[in-house]
Amino acid sequence: MQPKPDANKVKQFAGQGYLTDDHYSIATTFATWAIADSNFDVALTLPAKQGSFPLVIYLPGLGESRSAGEVWRTAWAQGGYAVLVVQPLEEDAAAWSSAQARSGDFAALARDRYSANSMTKRLNVLRQVMDELLRRLASKEVPDRIDTSHIAIAGYDLGAYAAMVIAGETMRGFVKPALPMPISAVIALSPYASFSGMAFTERYSAIRVPVLSVTSNDDSDSLGVVNSPSLRQAPFEYMPSGDKYLLTMSDIPHSMMSGNKAKPDDNEKKSFAEKGGHGGDGNSQGKGKGHHGTHHKSNGDSDSTGTPGGGDMASGVYLSPTSQAMSGVAIQGVMVAFLDAFVKNDPMAREWLGKDAPRWLGKKGGIKIR
């Protein structure tokens, strides 16, 4: 049996980090929205009290469903945000059961899922989902506590790629659909970058919104979608300066960036092949700040956590459960501070990111600002 994190040490570390006045209990509901001739599974997490809460739309990684990113969305909601999770394309959610995956042709799977054609379909569906959210708000079919005038897009793995394209990343053969809501900020967990296609100077030159990139020196996916962990820093380096942040954690594997709660016996160091190459939903209540709210599960969302996104490459570094928990808290704290700074326009949060975050992170990671 794997040892558990030292709860006191984790709590002490969290208490030294980003503290806000908002510590909300939360509630999560799952639903299926009928839009045109299709059904889309969504998860909505909200603070369990009255108020108006800015919206974070979370786009999961390859092979993940609406129940992904539980740790992250819990932290965001407890920090005072409404969080809508949707995997726009069924082909993305079912990637590991595709013909390409069954035949072991993961290179072809990656090319297909990361193509301009797939991105066009993905963002057109997202536009439809956003339109449906506005319709349901107007008809009071969803809680009216969602503030759609202040919105962030966050994503992991393939979802991070979509988030960056929404932010302004350019792709050959792709025309971005007009979204019905203004985007205030973007969070990219395990950003995608590739030497194929357009030059970096051209690809990222149109990004003007605030962006937080989150990666690590061990952020390798076994599909080989990104050749090297250091390549995930390219979007930050080549975006125009101004409200661009890069959080680089130490020795955190790709799967931990998903925000899925690992099983107690998952040592995070098994290879993609050893785990069978399957993605996971991560449907356990994550631990963020404040109290846990109710969690309503619908049929079709499992509790498996598997290897999300592109899976992990084997690593020679072992992090103790306590170190892993602290690193998760660090990512949560920086993300909530970033959202507060650029979605809630809180100058104190922006100051904390620039002055206090580097000292708090210590050897667990580093933060750069451009």
User: Are 45 and 285 within 8 A, CB to CB?
Assistant: no
Cα separation, 144 vs 160, in Å, equals 28
Cα separation, 82 vs 24, in Å, equals 11
- DSSP secondary structure code for residue 49 in this structure: S
pLDDT band at 310 (very low <50, low <70, confident <90, very high): low
Pairing of strands 365-369, 26-35: unpaired
Please give the class, per CATH, of domain 7-369.
alpha beta
For residue 172, give the nearest of 240, 125, 114 by alpha carbon.
114
Taking only the tens place, the pLDDT of each residue in 227-237 is: 789 999 999 99
H-run or E-run covering 248 = strand 244-249
At 286 the pLDDT is: 34
What are the CA-CA distances from residue 18 to residues 270, 356, 357, 361 (Å)?
Answer: 33, 8, 8, 11
Q: What is the mean pLDDT of the chain?
A: 84
- How far, rounded to the nearest angstrom, does the alpha carbon of residue 347 sit from its chain's CA centroid? 24
CA-angle at 214, arms to 80 and 56, nearest 5°: 30
Of residues 29 and 176, more confidence is placed in 29
Of residues 226 and 125, more confidence is placed in 125
Residues 76-80 have a mean pLDDT of 96
- How far, rounded to the nearest angstrom, does the alpha carbon of residue 85 sit from its chain's CA centroid? 10
Tokens coding 229: 């962990």
User: Are 3 and 23 within 8 A, CB to CB?
Assistant: no
At 316 the pLDDT is: 52
What are the CA-CA distances from residue 91 to residues 3, 32, 41, 62, 64 (Å)?
Answer: 37, 17, 13, 9, 10
Query: What are the two backbone dihedrals, phi and then psi, of residue 365, each rounded to the nearest 5 degrees?
Result: 175, 180
Residue 129: exposure state from Cβ atoms within 10 A (0-12, 13-18, ≥19): middle
Residues 132-161 have a mean pLDDT of 96
At 277 the pLDDT is: 38
Which residue ranges make up each domain of the chain? 7-369
CA atoms within 13 A on the CB side of 320: 11
User: Are 253 and 270 within 8 A, CB to CB?
Assistant: no
The proportion of the chain whose per-residue pLDDT surpasses 70, expressed as a percent, equals 83
Cα separation, 165 vs 191, in Å, equals 11
Q: Which range is least confidently modeled, 64-68, 206-210, 305-309?
A: 305-309
Of residues 267 and 103, more confidence is placed in 103
Q: How many angstroms separate the first and last alpha carbons of the chain?
A: 44
Taking only the tens place, the pLDDT of each residue in 239-296 is: 999 999 999 999 999 999 999 986 544 433 333 333 333 333 333 333 333 333 333 3
At 214 the pLDDT is: 98
